[in-house]
Amino acid sequence: MLTFFKKKEQESDEKIRAHVFVSGRVQGVFFRESCRKKALSLGVSGWVKNLKDGRVEAVFEGEKGSVEKMVNWCRKGPIWAKVDSFDLIWEDYKSEFSGFETRYDI
- Residues with catalytic function: 32, 50
**Buried-exposed string 73-88: b where 16+ CB fall within 10 A, e elsewhere:** bbeebbeebebeebee
Cα angle for residues 98, 91, 48 (degrees, 5° grid): 50
- Report whether 15 contacts 62 (CB < 8 A): yes
Strand ranges across the sheet with 15-25: 82-91, 15-25, 56-63, 45-50, 100-103
